[in-house]
Structure 1
Amino acid sequence: MNKAEIDSLVRAFLVETAEPAKANPRVQQVVVRLVQDLFKAIEDLDLSPSEVWRGIEYFAEAGASHELGLLAAGLGLERFLDIRADEAEVRAGLTGGTPRTIEGPLYVAGAPESTGFARLDDGSEEANGEVLFMQGTVYGADGRPLPGARVEVWHANLLGGYSFFDPSQAPFNLRRTIVADSEGRYRLRSMVPMGYGCPPEGTTQRLLDQLGRHGRRPAHIHFFVSAPGHRKLTTQINIDGDEYLWNDFAFASREGLVPALTRVTDPRALREQGVDQPFASIDFDFRLLPEADGAPPAEVVRQRMAA
């Protein structure tokens, strides 16, 4: 069957059978195109019925195990959406902000909120890891600090688990919302996170194995940063020196998102931070872009967990 015949067949299946007054034009447009492309792939690759049904069963299993968000990252879909958003902002004349990168599937709304400073960790891993202090300023489009900007932050524990998804952790461990102070500054205390991999027996890793790819992520910290009149920023920083820093299975590593990590041993600095052991320190400023006509929405509408 040639491509024109496939196009006609799909239209006969999905358009000519529809009642125009009841059809959602956008949904119809998207479904027709995707089904046309799927049928053409089946024809071009000569997929057998067994292979097609195995694919359907795979997606059903991935959905049941809540790994479709992970799969979207591993196949580059989430990064591709970011690339398109970057290009759209450039067309709208928006440049110079902190680079965006993927959100991932593990955000939880409703984290405890504080002004200026927050401690993220509950202290349970302090004996096994390295204390981290991270600080900086949120700047607006005019280069001035943004008092009251919201910095939502979340990351994994030393075993690669996220609270709410990992039942061994307390609720909202390693998750906070920091409201920038009167000078636009934020500061947090946590533990230096570790890199981690996809669940080894999960659907995402099984497919990656078939593709000859690893499923590892470098150590990283996620952020949503927002302020009135500015575009919401979705980003993450990576911990410099990680083995997978530039080999992230989710394609989220970007220039400008790998700040220097300094290890502090000076006794006076330790006292000032209220710790009795050396710690790691990261300085990182966020720069938000202004809202602008013609730019696509910066807020991505998707299902997210809320406590």
Structure 2
Amino acid sequence: MPKNIMDKATIGTLADRAAGLDAAGGNARLKEIVRRLTFDLMVAIDDLDISMDEFWTGVTYIAAAGRSNELGLIVPGIAVEHYLDLRLDEAERLAGLAGTTQRTIEGPLYVAGAPLSTGEARLDDGCDDGEVLFVQGRVTGTDGRPVAGAIVDVWHANTMGNYSHFDPTQPAFNLRRRIETRADGTYGFRTIMPSGYGCPPGSQSRLLMESLGRHAERPAHIHFFVTAPGYRKLTTQINIEGDTYLDTDFAFGTRDGLVPPVRRIDDAGEIHARGLNKPFAVIDFDFSIAAQAEGVAGTEVSRPRAAA
């Protein structure tokens, strides 16, 4: 079938009706969104000469991804979640907000309700014989002043690339904690060095990546929410330097400012002082968060999340 055989005005009229623009009532914002997306989809079908077989293959794929709860992987995998971050970055820049820690994707593996500690915490249950890692730093405002009582909500995978709650072999909230900063804004935690992970073998998300000629792997990383009264919520993560997939993260989560140095410590005195019997790693990472501001898109995102 030839391309561009439909008149744009005809497509527009059909999209108007599909969105209920000729009907009273309904949600005006939803009508606006459905009209635009329906119109753009119909135009894309015409421009690309998408066949009925191709269209229904796509519908079947989306349905299968929904049944397997993989849309939370596919959205970052096609760069849309990263795009939303870039768009919010630009909105903040235009509003004059600067000096904050870079944001990056949340991903689909957060679990609400992790235990709360003050100042510091141990995240791992001691059963994974991975490299011991200490992460420490400070939370400040963009003015450099410490933010006491901020909550650093942290979660990451184990050495097999698996997350507690989604991996039934791990205890509840393993490698997940909330840490309240001290009066000087500092926080710290002991954990194990995480591994990256990939989309599950045979999954819809991996099928899409491989069909695009891409891999479906993430580098090792540690997720954070940082919140405090009167401040904008920060959603971010740090990536572990040297990871094979650092520069090709399938989820577009790596950002240059979020790859801190890893210090390996093999000095016997420092090992003993930490109560260990083997070398360990240290990452220093400070967070800078912005005060609440009027007229800027919010950073508290309403989306489905797991809860224990």
- Give yes or no for contact 2:21–2:31 (8 Å, CA) kept in 1: no
- Give yes or no for contact 2:77–2:251 (8 Å, CA) kept in 1: yes
CA distance in 2, matches of 1:187, 1:14: 51
Q: Choose the corresponding residue for 1:28, options 31, 47, 52.
A: 31
Query: Following superposition of structure 1 onto structure 2, how do residues 170-249 of structure 1 map, counting pairs within 5 Å?
Result: 170-249=171-250
Q: Give the aligned length.
A: 303
Residue 121 (structure 1) aligns with: 124
- Give yes or no for contact 2:153–2:177 (8 Å, CA) kept in 1: yes
Residue 108 (structure 1) aligns with: 111
Residue 283 (structure 1) aligns with: 284
CA distance in 2, matches of 1:159, 1:304: 22
Offset of 1:17 from its aligned partner?
5.1
What CA deviation, in whole Å up to 9, does each residue of 1:37-83 have, x standing for no partner?
Answer: 11111111222222211111111110110100100010000000000
Residue 140 (structure 1) aligns with: 141
- Give yes or no for contact 1:152–1:176 (8 Å, CA) kept in 2: yes
CA distance in 1, matches of 2:153, 2:47: 46
What CA deviation, in whole Å up to 9, does each residue of 1:159-191 have, x standing for no partner?
Answer: 111111111111101000000112111010000
Residue 9 (structure 2) aligns with: 4
Specify the code of the residue in structure 2 equivalent to 1:195.
G
Q: Choose the corresponding residue for 2:93, options 76, 90, 107.
A: 90
Specify the code of the residue in structure 2 equivalent to 1:2.
D
Q: TM-score, normalised by structure 1?
A: 0.96
- Give yes or no for contact 1:233–1:288 (8 Å, CA) kept in 2: yes
Specify the code of the residue in structure 1 equivalent to 2:46.
E
- 1:74 matches 2:77: yes
- Once structures 1 and 2 are overlaid, which stretch shifts more, 80-89 or 138-147? 138-147
CA distance in 2, matches of 1:237, 1:29: 37
- Give yes or no for contact 1:195–1:218 (8 Å, CA) kept in 2: yes
- Give yes or no for contact 1:92–1:293 (8 Å, CA) kept in 2: no
User: Cα gap change, 1:91/1:12 in structure 2, threshold over 3 Å: closer, same or farther?
Assistant: same
SS at match of 1:256: helix
CA distance in 1, matches of 2:209, 2:48: 20
What CA deviation, in whole Å up to 9, does each residue of 1:116-157 have, x standing for no partner?
Answer: 11111111112xx20000100111132111111100000011
CA distance in 2, matches of 1:287, 1:184: 11
Pairwise CA RMSD of aligned residues?
Answer: 1.0
What CA deviation, in whole Å up to 9, does each residue of 1:71-97 have, x standing for no partner?
Answer: 001000000000000000001100111
Offset of 1:292 from its aligned partner?
1.2
Residue 265 (structure 2) aligns with: 264
SS at match of 2:257: coil
- Give yes or no for contact 1:141–1:230 (8 Å, CA) kept in 2: no
Gaps of 5+ in 1: none
Gaps of 5+ in 2: 1-5
Specify the code of the residue in structure 2 equivalent to 1:159.
M
SS at match of 2:135: strand
CA distance in 1, matches of 2:295, 2:242: 39
CA distance in 2, matches of 1:12, 1:31: 10
Offset of 1:242 from its aligned partner?
0.5
CA distance in 2, matches of 1:12, 1:220: 46
CA distance in 1, matches of 2:291, 2:18: 45
Specify the code of the residue in structure 1 equivalent to 2:106.
E
Residue 47 (structure 1) aligns with: 50
Runs of 4+ in 1 over 3 A off after TM superposition: none
Residue 59 (structure 1) aligns with: 62
What CA deviation, in whole Å up to 9, does each residue of 1:211-233 have, x standing for no partner?
Answer: 00001111000000011111110
